[in-house]
Structures are given as structure tokens and as C-alpha cells.
Structure 1
Amino acid sequence: MTSRELTGFLPLSETQPGEDDLPRRLSDMAWRIGFGAIGWPWLLASLSGGRKADKRALLDELGLAHDALPHLGSWKADVGFLRHIVREITRLRPAHVVELGAGASSLVAARALQLHGGGRLHSFDQHGGFVDATRQWLADNGLGVDIRHAPLTRESADWPGRWYAIDNLPDQIDLLIIDGPPWSVHPLVRGAADSLFARLSPDGVVLLDDAARPGERLVARRWRQRWPHIDFRLMKDGTKGTLVGRRRDVTLPVANDNDAARTWRHLGRAAGIAALIATGWIARGALGEFPQPAQASSFLDEAAASRRAALLRQAMASQVESATLNPQEIERSTGIILPALPVGWRVADVQLFPTADSPAIAMSLESPRGEHLSFFADRAETPADAKPMLAERAGDVIAYWEAGDMAYALTGQATPRRIMELAATIAPAS
């Protein structure tokens, strides 16, 4: 949630359960204390809503005034998450977007829909006054959406905390934006959003904000287990991380593989968390998924496969190569951001390359020395950062690095030292 007015560090207060629900209240409080104790680095990092230059670029892309998003960060969406929304709407041109937690994401999604296909935004928030203010805010920007008050009164058999009282949902959801309820309700409360996953359309997408926090990592871990036909990937751009889930197998129904209801033992979990806090095990990740080392294998295998495909295409007279490089069109259509190539490099071929969840970009390049190289770009998570790392596949040397949520690979048959030198001319200075 984000308002156009200045807001405090903490989320808006929630309606408390009744006095007869003391076990739940004690349990939820224990979870909040436990996750607050280990989650403060993520909370501090979230104070920044992103770089002002990035926010201006996003607003320019949407044709909105630079003061249209005056206050971001803290419990509110950041620029990284908002950019994911724009990319997916641009790519999908969705008919129905459902949003949990209204505010800046509502403004950005509504404007992106207005520019790309004219789909409908269905937005829900638990605060009636905030809903009214957001509706007026969007109207002031010439945008009308279906935004409704959805109090936190529902129970979930599978997840703790109270959930939105939502009704009149579209039968199919093309894009599901999850930016609520806040973690102060319960660190795992957003897990209940999976009650909507069965409505995802073929190629439907899920976006979860604050995905780097410990609670959301636990949610993501369980989602991966329960929804095997949705590929979930943590994107590290922005200040808080975004979990992107893509329905990947359109031939199989997206069905929950564990529909049996289960009862949460609130007091037992509360006591367990208290004990873990006392012994320090929470900080060591005993409760579940905390940041794990990223794996590069899949990305590197795809980069190597794209090089083999390019070499094969070059050897076949029937296959057409395209040396036309239009970075703006590529970003607009795929969300992939390409770095500027050094002066003197020649582009021999540019192709879309299919990956498990979305198209990547594969390019054949020639350096000023006549070295034939392959360049691969995709949204992926690897162990690398801005400084390139080395790998080898089938006799080829690969230098790979990351910039934001993008991963890049430069592949060739030169020496490792030479490949690193060439990669350094493309990779951002570290």
C-alpha cells in the first residue's frame, strides 16, 4: 500500500480480533516478535523506495507527472516492484489484474493497463478510508478502477492470520499483484493468496512484494511445494525483492496438490517460537527458508544452449539471421534490459531464446579483433554480482554477471582472461 500523502514507518493499524480469540492473538504476537527480531535488516532496507532517477524514468514511461508518486518505501511499494508490474502488463496485456493491497501499485497498474490493452484492475484493501482516498487519487489522474474495501475477517485453513473478505472475482486472473496484508497481521499471512492461484489463466503471473523478507521466503518455499506448475523466482532488484511466479505448463490444470484443511496449533507454535528466540535458533534459520546461495547452473546451461543454437543457425542457409538491435523494443516487449555494447562491436544476430518461464535474448557478436562471441540476457538469479564470474560449458568459456534483476553471459572460445577482459567492457563498473 502507498498513499500520495506522507505516511509513517509502520502500516496502518488493523482491527483486532475479539477478546475470545486470545490464543490467536498470543500466537500472532509471538510470530511478529520472532520475525521482527530477525527481520529488522530487511525492514531497514525497505525504508528506501528506490532511486529518484529510477522513479522519474518509470513515471516518464507511463506518461505521469514526476510528483504522481511522492512517497515510496517503508511499508509501501518501491520502484523495483512497480517496474515489475509495468513489465508484466506490457508483456501480457492482461484482461484481468487482481491486486491485494491498494495504493501506488494501483496507480501504476491502472495507467499501464490504460496504455497496454485496456484490461481491468480489481483492487482490494482492508482499510475503507484508504480505499476511498486511493479511488480519488486515481480519479485525479484520470484513472478509474474497481477498488473495493475487503476487511480482514476471513479464516484460512492453511495459513495463519486473517484474510481478505473478497467476492466477485473474475473467473480467470492474468496477473495477481500481492502487496498485502502487511506483515504486522502475521509474517506468513500473504501465503493465503494461493487461494486464488487456481484462477490463474494460461501464462498467468503472480507478483509478491517484500519477497526478500524471512516470512515471505517461508511463504515462497511452501508455494513451490504446493504449486508445482508455477515457476517461482526471487528477483533481487529494488529494495525489498519481488517473487515472480509464472504458470508454465498450460496443458495441465493448476490445482492445489494439498487441499486437505489443517488446523494451526497457535499456542504450540507461539511457545516454539519463544523457545527458539531464547536459544538463538531463529537467527540461524531453523524456521525455514532464509537467503540461500543462488545457483547459476540453469542460467549457464541456457546461455550455452543459445550459443549452440546460434552456431547451428549460422550454418543453415534456410535460417534467417537478424542483425537489427532495438533495445527499447526488446525492453518494452520482454522486460529485458540490454547493456550498451562497446564502440566497434558488431551485432551479427539477435534472437529471442525460449527459457523455462519467459523468452531470453541471445545475440551473436564480433569484437574489433574479429572474435566471435555470444551474449545472453535473461531475468535470473546467480551467485554473481556486478563483477563477472567465470564458468565453462562444452569447451566454451563463459563470463556472467548481474545488474539489478538481469543476468548476463558472454561466451566464447578465447582464454578465460580474455573473456573476462571483454566482459568487463560490458559489465557495470564494480
Structure 2
Amino acid sequence: MTGFLPLAERLEDIDHGERLSDFAWRMAFGAIGWPWLLASLSGGRKADKRALLDELGLAHDALPHLGSWKADMGFLRHIVREIARLRPAHVVELGAGASTLVAAQALTLHGGGQLHSFDQHGGFVDATRQWLADQGLKADLRHAPLTKKSSDWPGRWYAIDTLPESIDLLIIDGPPWAVHPLVRGAADSLFSRLSPGGVVLLDDAARPGERLVARRWRERWPHMDFRLVKDGTKGTLVGRRRDVSMPAVNDNEAGRGWHHVARAAGIAALIATGWIARGALGEFPQPAQAETFLDEAAASHRAGLLRLAMPSQVESQRLDPQEIERTTGIVLPALPSDWRISDVQLFPTADSPSIAVSLVTPQGEQLSFFADRAETPAEGRPLLAHRAGDTIAYWEAGSMAYALTGRTKANRLLALAAQVAPAG
């Protein structure tokens, strides 16, 4: 939230070559990143903001206008969702602001964990602390000037004095890109403190710099799963540590010094060759994400059939799309009115709950409709896939991915999916 405030670092402490290189990176990424910066000005719909504040029990004027350098609604929803799911003991936030208020309130509602927030501007830290106090909230807010130099990443990093031994949720909304487009990569110095199942949330993840950061994180931290979710104006990178043993330090790649003048020339070469424009920034191969999404859709279908066959399981036949969107952020399309709903369930997935709806068509066909956020090769027109004896028609609309699963012929399933898909 402090991206337009003066950088609280002393330029005389930075050598001339580093300053020249950082300036070249900022100019280059500013030239190619303006569409992302322009798209971020809205911050999200006012209705979504009111719904989030209602969910948190906060007044509608508790948050400032969201947009520009502030966390947007998509990112704030992720914070609330992960705190509700994890009930974390320790949340660490890099870059204070709107996310601080949201995280602090969510923690009071879900477990009462401790929020540790760091920002480079001492005056803003004091103002945020008072802002929280006005709302009856507390957090451990600390001034962390940008004076530390990373051996692995460019730019200057937070001088953090104290951290919890174990971090359950790491929120990254700083430093601002004006320090360096790749500066947030240094947040991986905290990954070794993540608890098993711990989560990383990176704001502005759709920007070119953050996409390069995400690509390198994925290479350096193979025991973590990263996923870009495009459900806000800026995109959120969700990282989750697998529940396996983890080295105390990052040993996936030896620390490489950044040769400042060389990389300044390198970025010019990348732009000249059109490397960025050709889409080389897409950090996650879509087929892998599609496979996970399809596996989950098939699993939800089988689970739904089992529930319907078990008298001890109580079905919920009420589908409330507004409540689902308000609580989970999942947007559901209108389903055909002559399809009978036999069950509606939250279905656990790696990042957050998805929605599974068991359906029966007028012809008696048992189907499952599955909704989640995922990157797949599909667009508005459904594609087909198969899992065991199940046929799956899947498509995307906005940031959402949908699947219709059943044990029926492919052409018939495509015809059924066409009644729901926007370009069916």
C-alpha cells in the first residue's frame, strides 16, 4: 500500500553500478508493465468489497478505495479464506496496509493467531497501528527499512529484526516494484520457516516481474506447489508447502550474485528479442494444472455418487450462488432449470474449497458439476477428458474453471455442457 511513498533507503549506501542496473530494470518493466498497472487501478467491485466487509463484521467505510498500489479484493479474499482454513498461529505480512486490517480482523474471527507486519515506512507503520486500534484490533507492526542486500535477488530487502520460528501464512505485498521488479523474490528467505502445509500469498502476481519471481521460486523450491490465480485485478500467486521434511536453508540452488551492469544490458536484449512479448512469462504449464483439476472433478463425482448411495449421509439440495461467491469467491453459472439438484457440497482441494453439485437430468442421467479456480487449456468452448469410466466436459469462464462429469457418451455430455458453458 506504500508504493508511492518515498523509498526509505539511503542512496549513498548503494553503489553506482547497482543504481544504474536497478534503474534500467525499472524503466524496462515500466515500459512493458503498464497494462498491468492500468488494470490494477480499480481494485475490484464495490459490491465485492461490501460483501467482504460484511463477512468480517467491519463497517463499509473501514477500508479505503482499493486500487493502484493497494491490495485488491481478490488478494484480500485469499487472505480471509486461508486464515479461515488454516487458523494460523503466526501470520507474517510484508508491506502493511489494507491487508493488515483484513488479516487482523480475520484472525480475531478464526483462532486468534498473531499477525507480524513489516513495512519500510516508519510513519506509515505508526499510522496503520493507530488505524487498527480505531477498529479495536492489534498486530505486531514493525518498521523494517529497506537496507538489507540479498545475495540471491536484486534490490534492497527489509531489515527484519524478529520473526516467529514457524510461519503458517506469509503475505507478500511489498516491497514496491519501484525498488526493483524482482525484489519480492527475496521473500523466499522466509520459506524455510513455513510450517507443514503453510501458505504463501504473493500480490500483483500477474505482473511480468512477479511472474519471473514465481518461475524461479518453482525451480528453487520443488517441495512447494505454486499456482497463479487470476481472480482479482492483479492476480495472486498461492504457494503451499507440502507436508514433508524441509531443509533449514534453501539449498536448491547456490546463491548467485547479481552482476548489475550485465543484467541491465540483459534486460534490454530480452526486450529487443521480444522474449517477454511472446509470452515466455507464463510460469506454470497448463497441462499439469488441468490434470489436477480433472482429477479433482472426477473424484468429486465419485464422492457424490457414494454419498447418494449412503442413507447415513445427509444431502443438501439448496444451492445459493450468492452465498457461495460471498464465502468462497467461487462464481457459479446458471444451471438449467429442469436439472434436479440432489446434493451441494464443498469439496476440499489443494488451494481452497471448491464446489461440487450432484445433478439429475430430465432423462435420469446422474451428473456432477464441479467449480474451482484453475488454469486449463480450455476456454469458453468445452473440451473432453476421461477418468476411468467417467467422461468430463470442462471449460473456463473468467478466472473460474468448470467441469461436468458423468458416465455418458461424449457427444451427449458435450451437448449437456453446452447448456451451461458461455461458448458452448
TM-score for the superposition, normalised by structure 2: 0.88
Q: Using the TM superposition, name which of 399-408 and 231-240 deviates more.
A: 399-408
Question: Deviation digits for residues 172-217 of structure 1, max 9, x if unmatched?
Answer: 1111000000111001100000111111112111000000111101
* Structure 1 residue 189 corresponds to structure 2 residue 183: yes
Rounded Cα–Cα distance in structure 1 between residues aligned with 2:4 and 2:295: 43
Q: Which residue does 2:260 correspond to in 1?
A: 266
- Which aligned pairs between 1:17-36 and structure 2 lie closer than 5 A? 17-18=11-12, 21-36=15-30
Rounded Cα–Cα distance in structure 1 between residues aligned with 2:111 and 2:331: 22
Identify which of 72, 76, 81 aligns with 1:78: 72
- Which aligned pairs between 1:269-284 and structure 2 lie closer than 5 A? 269-284=263-278
Q: Which residue does 1:294 correspond to in 2?
A: 286
Identify which of 251, 269, 276 aligns with 2:244: 251
Rounded Cα–Cα distance in structure 1 between residues aligned with 2:272 and 2:421: 45
- Which aligned pairs between 1:336-415 and structure 2 lie closer than 5 A? 341-350=335-344, 353=347, 355-356=349-350, 360-385=354-379, 387-393=380-386, 394=388, 396-403=390-397, 405-415=399-409
| CA deviation after TM superposition for structure 1 residue 309, in Å | 4.9
Question: Deviation digits for residues 147-168 of structure 1, max 9, x if unmatched?
Answer: 1110000111111110001121
Letter in 2 for 1:271: A
Letter in 1 for 2:158: Y
Question: Deviation digits for residues 77-134 of structure 1, max 9, x if unmatched?
Answer: 1111111111111111111111000000001111111111111111100011111111
Rounded Cα–Cα distance in structure 2 between residues aligned with 1:119 and 1:139: 17
SS for the counterpart of 1:283 is coil
Letter in 2 for 1:324: S
Identify which of 11, 15, 20 aligns with 2:4: 11
Question: Deviation digits for residues 262-307 of structure 1, max 9, x if unmatched?
Answer: 211111111222344445444345xx53477733232123323443
| CA deviation after TM superposition for structure 1 residue 312, in Å | 6.0
Rounded Cα–Cα distance in structure 1 between residues aligned with 2:239 and 2:417: 30
| CA deviation after TM superposition for structure 1 residue 61, in Å | 1.0
| CA deviation after TM superposition for structure 1 residue 367, in Å | 2.0
Aligned CA distance change for structure 1 residues 87 and 292 (closer, same or farther; 3 Å): closer
Are the counterparts in 1 of residues 221 and 252 from structure 2 also a CA contact under 8 Å? Answer: no
Are the counterparts in 2 of residues 327 and 337 from structure 1 also a CA contact under 8 Å? Answer: no
Rounded Cα–Cα distance in structure 2 between residues aligned with 1:414 and 1:404: 27
| CA deviation after TM superposition for structure 1 residue 140, in Å | 1.5
- Structure 1 portions without partners, runs of 5+: 3-9
TM-score for the superposition, normalised by structure 1: 0.87
Q: Which residue does 1:175 correspond to in 2?
A: 169
Q: Which residue does 2:39 correspond to in 1?
A: 45
Aligned residues: 417
* Structure 1 residue 144 corresponds to structure 2 residue 138: yes
SS for the counterpart of 1:398 is strand
Rounded Cα–Cα distance in structure 1 between residues aligned with 2:349 and 2:336: 27
Q: Which residue does 1:324 correspond to in 2?
A: 316
Are the counterparts in 2 of residues 293 and 383 from structure 1 also a CA contact under 8 Å? Answer: no
Rounded Cα–Cα distance in structure 1 between residues aligned with 2:365 and 2:128: 55
Aligned CA distance change for structure 1 residues 57 and 429 (closer, same or farther; 3 Å): farther
Q: Identity of paired residues, percent?
A: 75
Letter in 1 for 2:6: S
Are the counterparts in 2 of residues 231 and 357 from structure 1 also a CA contact under 8 Å? Answer: no
Letter in 2 for 1:55: K
Letter in 1 for 2:165: D
